[in-house]
Structure 1
Amino acid sequence: MKKENIRIVFMGTPEFAVESLKALVENGYNVVAVVTQPDKPVGRHQEKLQPSAVKQYALEHNLPVLQPVKMKDADFIEELRSYKADLQVVVAFRMLPEVVWGMPRLGTFNVHAALLPQYRGAAPINWAVINGETETGVTTFFLDKDIDTGRIILQKPFNVPDTADVEYVYDGLMCLGAETALETINLIASKLPEDNLDSIDFPSVLDEISVPQAYENIELKAAPKIFKETCEINWNQSAKKVYDFVRGLSPYPGTWSILRPVEDNGEKPLVMKVYKTAKTGSPSTGAPGSLVVEKNRLYVNTSDGLLELLDIQLSGKKRMDARSFLNGFKEIEKFRFRQNV
């Protein structure tokens, strides 16, 4: 079927989703409307409203924008239905009710930043890096009643270098996701007649290009939402686990730990964010969380080895490299990181 004859509604919010929307628009697909989150209050007094990255792109390309507060709102459902979409494409958006994902006759597919069934959930990129995966990827799948469980259409792998942080993987999967979204729609279009969509059996066509998720006899890894408390470093783990944890949350939201005086001298605990570390291969020289300064380099003990801190930030201060930090914080060895996580 000709691409301009397939009416598509696109749903997404952050920059990650823009690349996929851009791919559809630039390749001539008929995006009839875009659904995104309501504008977000920003500023010290929350006096300004910031549109999402997807909304900004949509307005620049004269695409109608819908911003429902509630996905089950009757007025929104009526307006969405008025666009008579044949297909809906979802990238980095929120959970949809069946009345929404079941609306188009060609269904609704999602671009998920992981190789399903692994890493179902809100933060698949972070958790893949945190868990030290050497490979992740992108999956397109049809939405159904449960989260991230629908029939898989396409999957594309992505290599994760040991030195990569989550920003590197995010950027890579953003581009790979756009390619996969476009390839998925091309595949769907190739199975449709040239003109009359009413002449085909949609369920059988969609089943032909997708397969159920297979997860028997494998250990599933989840990707739950990241909260502030999720980001606290547990120094009682191995150096490799801490290293992966830091890069899996860098640069945003960033890991953190509490610095406490070794002796109770009345000094207040300090909160330090850790953005980058380096494995040393050296064994621990003290209890987990204790610090070592050597030749203007800062190390911390883990359960099995020393980890070098490279890029850090004290609460209320600028982000800086460890050498610059040590130049202004001469008594760092009188502190240690909290252990009881």
Structure 2
Amino acid sequence: MKIVFMGTPDFSVNALENIVKAGHDVVGVITQPDKPKGRGGKMQYTPVKEKALELGLDVYQPQRVKETEFIEKLKEMNPDAIVVIAFGQILPKAILDMPKYGCINVHASLLPKYRGAAPIQWSVIDGEKETGVTTMYMNEGLDTGDIIDKVVVPIDKKETGGSLFDKLAIEGGKLILKTLIELENGTAVRTPQDDSKSNYAGMINKQLGKIDFNKSANEIERLIRGLNPWPSAYTKMDGKTLKIWDADVDDSENDSAPGTITEVGKDFIRVATGKGSLKILELQLEGKKRMKTRDFLNGAKIPDRMEG
């Protein structure tokens, strides 16, 4: 099948590689423009661009896909299907209607649940027991198109946003191949989404990571996992930012005010919350490297409370 691939981050790379290995003719790879990074402001390729160049594919980086010049370029490519995975721009109707088999999106949730930009992190933060990947026909709405395929992925007890990202990227890379076969042989289904069962997984920002110890230990522990590795959950200790990378929940009752450090063990710091306690097992104080709590406690002076 002749395919145009649209994607930008690491999450998209596995699918691109699989599509090429499966023998499909990728006539163009569309990704976001390069951006400056670091103090030197050196322009950095997107992960998809890096992989596409490695595979010898033609790469296009339009500022806006709505531009007439770019749409004309796509028409010249004449793709049978356009595969879209975490591309980062909204496609106009002129592009959606272009390919024979349509524009096919790979989305990291079990639609209609968790439409939007950050379904992976929110599924962990919200305490879901499972999530997955969905392929769908794209329309002009936000992740509202008819569903083709799904694959379910359990969420482990200590799952992080990062570990789930990796699992779903692999599953998405497998699922798109199955979907392309179904499109080509005419067995692809169209299952309309039930909008009443949808919710929106809004974008993640650094402010979301600020820990509120008035919340339950369970909620805070899920936040820590969901925002690992980015942007991370954090509080303050003696006026310095303290990132918390790993913690366990202690459901035993305590009468201490939320944020109070109630115990310093050999390898943990116990903090009271609105319900239960949080045992901090891995952390990173501002200006220091990430470390296990047992290493942090060597010579560290621990205050009476966190400042979150």
Which of residues 254, 258, 264 is equivalent to 1:284?
254
The residue aligned with 2:170 is: 175
The residue aligned with 1:311 is: 282
Q: Which amino acid letter does the alignment assign opposite residue 235 of structure 2?
A: S
CA deviations 1:235-293 (Å, max 9, x no partner) are: 11111111111101112221112335xxxxxxxx2211111111223223411111133
CA deviations 1:84-109 (Å, max 9, x no partner) are: 11110001111222222222122101
Aligned residue pairs: how many?
Answer: 306
1:295 deviates by 2.7
Secondary structure at 2:298 match in 1: helix
Contact 2:6/2:84 (<8 A) preserved: yes
Which of residues 117, 122, 128 is equivalent to 1:122?
117
The residue aligned with 2:52 is: 58
TM-score by length of 2: 0.95
Q: Which amino acid letter does the alignment assign opposite residue 182 of structure 1?
A: L
Contact 2:160/2:226 (<8 A) preserved: yes
1:213 aligns with 2:230: no
TM-score by length of 1: 0.86
Of residues 92-101 and 48-57 in structure 1, the stretch that sits farther from structure 2 once superposed is 92-101
Aligned counterparts of 2:262 and 2:91: Cα–Cα separation in 1: 50
Secondary structure at 2:141 match in 1: coil
Which of residues 103, 107, 110 is equivalent to 1:112?
107
1:302 aligns with 2:260: no
Aligned counterparts of 1:259 and 1:329: Cα–Cα separation in 2: 11
1:164 aligns with 2:159: yes
Aligned counterparts of 1:295 and 1:258: Cα–Cα separation in 2: 20
Aligned counterparts of 1:316 and 1:88: Cα–Cα separation in 2: 45
Give 1 or 2 for the bigger CA radius of gyration: 1
1:124 deviates by 0.3
Question: What stretches of structure 1 of length at least 5 have no aligned partner?
Answer: 1-5, 192-204, 261-268
Secondary structure at 1:213 match in 2: coil
CA deviations 1:287-314 (Å, max 9, x no partner) are: 1111133333211111111111111111
The residue aligned with 1:264 is: none
1:240 aligns with 2:211: no
Secondary structure at 1:336 match in 2: coil
1:54 deviates by 0.9
Q: Which amino acid letter does the alignment assign opposite residue 124 of structure 2?
A: V
1:335 deviates by 3.8
1:41 aligns with 2:36: yes
1:73 deviates by 2.0
Secondary structure at 1:77 match in 2: helix
1:221 deviates by 3.1
Contact 2:284/2:290 (<8 A) preserved: yes
CA deviations 1:176-198 (Å, max 9, x no partner) are: 1011111000000111xxxxxxx
Contact 2:91/2:140 (<8 A) preserved: no
Question: What stretches of structure 2 of length at least 5 have no aligned partner?
Answer: none
Aligned counterparts of 1:271 and 1:100: Cα–Cα separation in 2: 46
Q: Could you list the structure 1 runs, at least 4 aligned residues long, displaced by more than 6 angstroms after superposition.
A: none
